[in-house]
Structure 1
Amino acid sequence: MSDDIPPSTNAHKKGWFDKVSQLFQGEPQNREDLVDVIHDAEMRDVITEDTREMIKGVLEVSDLRVRDIMIPRAQIVAIQIDDSVEQLLSTVISSAHSRFPVINEDKDHIEGILLAKDLIQYGFNNSEDPFTLAKVIRPAVVVPESKRVDVLLKEFRSQRYHMAIVVDEYGGVSGLVTIEDILEEIVGEIEDEFDHDSAEETEIRKVSDNVYMLKALTPIEDFNEKFNTTFSDEEFDTVGGLVSHAFGHLPERNEKIVIGDIEFKVISADTRRLLQLSATFPSTTKSEEQPV
């Protein structure tokens, strides 16, 4: 019963709910006051720290435009309208994406969006109909760079699509944006199947006799110890730093480079850093993996 609650507790709760009530009555009038209310709610254990961060994320999203969060044109993984099933499956597997813009000649000519799941019946020869990409692609949604992110999120939800092509003021394709990009602005990075806890940041996984997957943050010292290599760690601490330096620029997904006799391939990267790499050793001289 409410009579059993100490007066001080009731006063604290009443004070906070009074502030929330004021918000719906038009007061306070600025964001700073609203942030104060949110912090006050956390201090009184009305909401958790995670909830407070998400609320702040929602507030910040309202200030963003699509250009602020889009994947740049140069990093778009697209497929050609005349690609074969084999070429498409290769792209799907290597990129690990579920949706792909379909282009005709270049990225300014978007024909539609391909969902990887729509390839399944053709990839396993379960369809008697001859394959043409035009049969399975879906219409592409196009949005301007200047569109507000919160408005786009509402459209994503109401119209049930997950990806949009972003165009500049001249109509040229400047990037793409997904619903995940928006959600990450609110709740933080959403990990995929290659992401692990920080304790596993240096994991190196064997995927075939001479191919390994590794985090870009793997220390060069650990790499040398595992494979009996002799890469210097005086200038760079991580394998990602070594690979980026060898490229001479921040490489994009699927770019490859040979360092020594090992071929490194970029599996995933964002606009600031490499995330995951594959290392392929010469098949004639198998990698000398040390026992763990």
Structure 2
Amino acid sequence: MSDPNPSDSEPRQPKPGHKSLFARLTTFMRPVEPEDRDDVKDFLEAAHDNKVLDSEAYTMLSGALDVANQTVADIMVPRSKMDMLDISRPLSEVLPTIIETGHSRFPVYEGDRDNIMGILLAKDLLLSISNPQLDLRPLVRPAVFIPETKRLNVLLREFRSSRNHLAIVIDEHGGTAGLVTMEDVLEQIVGEIEDEYDEEAEKTIFQTGTNSWRAMGITEIEVFNKTFGTELPDDDYDTVGGWLAAELGRIPRRGDSLSHAGLNITVVGADARRALWLHIQLEETPPVAPEPTGP
């Protein structure tokens, strides 16, 4: 999840050969209608700079434009962080997970986590909570499956028309890649939506394996250095995403990767303004050959 803020966003890079709409207005001194999305953003930026739009209005309007260029893969909750329920376990065993996470909807699987049978709504359990041996199968609702490449504006329209609030994201091989909710999409427009179950709001680095982690682009450099024992400079940048943009010389894009201090850092989620999610992998150190000993 991201918290877009125009005050600390990376500057938008114009398309090659693109001339600012306001430069054309200045040149011709007559009204010019916007020709593309960049022209609309020029208007928004000028309105924000001239205090016509406050920061919140600017963020929402810019976010509404950006969702048309973003895909589900850019914002989804990855498979490793999905809270799922095993259909073979009785309610008494899964109830602690339901209470602890506080989610209203849970993907339900059988056998393998890729074999998702449907979605369980926590509210459906209320009338049956007194029966700890309740079979969950009759309560499971059909799941919606979508590809990673689906655009967010299309997904939001489908969420509204179908009245679904959660979809399972499938990769190109048919496996479970993650999930995405209506709240995730709306947050790209209005900024982060926090509720009473959003715990550890400060936590931005999550371990996903023995030598791998997932980190948010807004992770403070001080926190990153402390976690990984690195020495990223924090004089000119506050976040890892800002440092990464400086190293690349441009706004990071999904798939960008670089190595630093024994770590491989790969961008796995980004929007038009910044890196959102990073995959951190500890690089293997090649074994050192023993020095030959003479007679």
* Residue in structure 1 matched with residue 165 of structure 2 by the alignment: 162
What displacement does 1:74 show?
1.0
* Residue in structure 1 matched with residue 73 of structure 2 by the alignment: 67
Are 1:113 and 1:138, in contact at CA under 8 Å, matched by a contact in 2? yes
Aligned residue type for 1:28 = P
Q: Distance in 2 between matches of 1:214 and 1:34?
A: 37
The number of aligned residues is 187
What displacement does 1:153 show?
0.6
Provide the identity percentage: 44
* Residue in structure 2 matched with residue 124 of structure 1 by the alignment: 130
With CA pairs under 8 Å and 6+ residues apart, which has the higher RCO, 1 or 2? Answer: 2
What displacement does 1:135 show?
0.9
Secondary structure at the residue paired with 1:64?
A: coil
Secondary structure at the residue paired with 2:42?
A: helix
Secondary structure at the residue paired with 1:108?
A: strand
Are 2:105 and 2:122, in contact at CA under 8 Å, matched by a contact in 1? yes
Does 2:161 align with 1:190? no
Q: Distance in 2 between matches of 1:36 and 1:271?
A: 27
Change (3 A) 1:57 1:46: same
Are 2:101 and 2:197, in contact at CA under 8 Å, matched by a contact in 1? no
What displacement does 1:49 show?
2.2
What displacement does 1:88 show?
2.1
Aligned residue type for 2:145 = V
* Residue in structure 2 matched with residue 51 of structure 1 by the alignment: 57
Q: Distance in 1 between matches of 2:50 and 2:152?
A: 31
Q: Deviations over 1:135-192 (max 9, x none)?
A: 1111000000111111001101111000000001121111111111111111111112
Q: Distance in 2 between matches of 1:93 and 1:216?
A: 22
* Residue in structure 2 matched with residue 223 of structure 1 by the alignment: none
Q: How does 1:1-292 map to 2 (within 5 A)?
A: 27-43=33-49, 45-125=51-131, 131-194=134-197
Are 1:89 and 1:123, in contact at CA under 8 Å, matched by a contact in 2? no
| Structure 2 unmatched runs, 5+ | 1-21, 26-31, 204-221, 230-275, 280-295
Q: Distance in 2 between matches of 1:80 and 1:243?
A: 33
Aligned residue type for 1:170 = H
Q: Distance in 2 between matches of 1:89 and 1:58?
A: 38
RMSD over equivalenced CA pairs, Å: 3.3
What displacement does 1:271 show?
6.0
TM-score normalised by L of structure 2: 0.56
TM-score normalised by L of structure 1: 0.56
Aligned residue type for 1:162 = H
Q: Distance in 1 between matches of 2:90 and 2:98?
A: 12
Q: Distance in 1 between matches of 2:121 and 2:200?
A: 27
Q: Deviations over 1:84-103 (max 9, x none)?
A: 11122111112221111000
The structure in which a higher percent of residues are helix is 1
Secondary structure at the residue paired with 2:124?
A: helix
Secondary structure at the residue paired with 2:61?
A: helix
What displacement does 1:32 show?
2.2
Are 2:44 and 2:58, in contact at CA under 8 Å, matched by a contact in 1? yes
Are 1:85 and 1:122, in contact at CA under 8 Å, matched by a contact in 2? no
Structure 1 runs of 4+ with >3 Å offset? 40-47, 213-217, 240-245, 270-273
Secondary structure at the residue paired with 2:156?
A: helix
